[in-house]
Amino acid sequence: MDAFELLKSDHKKVAGLLEKIDGTTERALKTREELFTQLKTELDIHAKIEETIFYPVLEKAEESRDITLEAFEEHRLVKQLLNELAAEAKDDEKWTAKFTVLKENVEHHVEEEEGELFKKARRVLSKEEIEELGTRMEEAKVKQKAAAAR
């Protein structure tokens, strides 16, 4: 499994969830709660596989080190926003404002990752490493989704 294709597929799925939530109002409480739960699960799993499998390899290479460290920080901020949003009432306009900040942060991160980080990663990883990382990330995702379903 190509690591970049796996991550791009995740990004596309998350973008769809962000758009669906963005299209809701404070009155759509049940829909918001369901969609946000899906979004948080997807982002939690995605961040975990990047942080434990993908980023550590890129952090070791001088060419991709700085952008990888930045990506770790962007994840930290997104996780903080997700946890705050999870704890707040989804039918409050403050929740909507904070969600907009989350959406903008995720979109920025994806744009930077698929652009700059992936370009640098392709220069420091061999085709075999890209496949091996993708396979490892895919296996980890399956395990984490199973654990989340329990």
For residues 98 and 88, the answer to whether their CB atoms sit within 8 Å is yes
Predicted TM-score (pTM) of this structure: 0.95
**Mutual orientation of helices 3-22 and 93-112 as an angle, nearest 10°?**
160
User: What confidence tens digit (pLDDT) does each residue in 106-142 have?
Assistant: 999 999 999 999 999 999 999 999 999 999 999 999 9
For domain 3-149, the CATH architecture is Up-down Bundle (1.20)
pLDDT at 149 over 90: no
Q: What is the mean pLDDT of residues 33-62?
A: 97
Burial class (CB in 10 A: 0-12, 13-18, 19+), 40: middle
pLDDT at 37 over 90: yes
Provide the token pair at 133: 């990382």
Q: What is the mean pLDDT of residues 63-89?
A: 97
Residue ranges covered by each domain of the chain: 3-149
Q: How many CB atoms lie under 10 A from the CB of residue 107?
A: 14
Question: In whole angstroms, what is the distance from residue 75 CA to residue 89 CA?
Answer: 23
pLDDT at 112: 97
